[in-house]
Amino acid sequence: MRKPCQEQKISDLPQDRLEPAPPFTFTGVDFFGPFIIKEGRKELKRYGVIFTCLVSRSIHLEAANSLETDSFTHCLQRFIARRGTVQEIRCDNGTNFIGTRNELNKACHPGTFLPNDRHTGVQIRLKLVTQDTGQITESPNNNVTYLKSPNIQDQFT
């Protein structure tokens, strides 16, 4: 009269989570908090940003002043300066993530030269994951490419 044991149905993991890669090449990011801190006599809200490596599951924590786009952009800059190049970032559809994607697309469209950028030739893909279905949506403009000419003097002639 007992039913046989059933197997759990799980979809396959994405290929980028299975292939060996340097730490934080494929990264997930999310905000957590708020935390109330005291600065002098004022109480301020601060948030945490967690970056997780999708391959090794290691984490990197940053502190953010707010949930705004500028605050996340600064956290992303600090993260890349510390951990190196990132090929893909997966995040939810938060307005700060969407705003950062839009700012990066405007500032770094192909053909834009960034002479002080040490992460040249790297393409960062921001993949937005919907909360309802868990599906990954990519718009055609969410690829950001950093380019650098072989000789910095060539940019100014």
pLDDT digit string, tens, across residues 25-45: 999 999 999 999 999 999 999
Distance, C-alpha 147 to centroid of its chain: 19
Note the pTM of the prediction, 2 decimals.
Answer: 0.70
What is the 3-class SS of 101-139, one letter each residue?
Answer: HHHHHHHCCCCCECCCCCCCCCEEEEEEECCCCCCEECC
| pLDDT number for residue 105 | 74
Domain boundaries, the chain: 15-156
How is domain 15-156 classified at the architecture level of CATH? 2-Layer Sandwich (3.30)
53 C-beta neighbours (distance < 10 Å), count: 19
55-65 tens-digit pLDDT: 999 999 999 99
The DSSP call for residue 149 is -
Question: pLDDT: is 149 or 119 the higher one?
Answer: 119
pLDDT at 119: 44
> Secondary structure of the chain: what % helix, strand, coil (to 5)?
25, 30, 45
- The answer, yes or no, to whether residue 134 has pLDDT greater than 60, is no
Of residues 109 and 147, the one with the higher pLDDT is 109
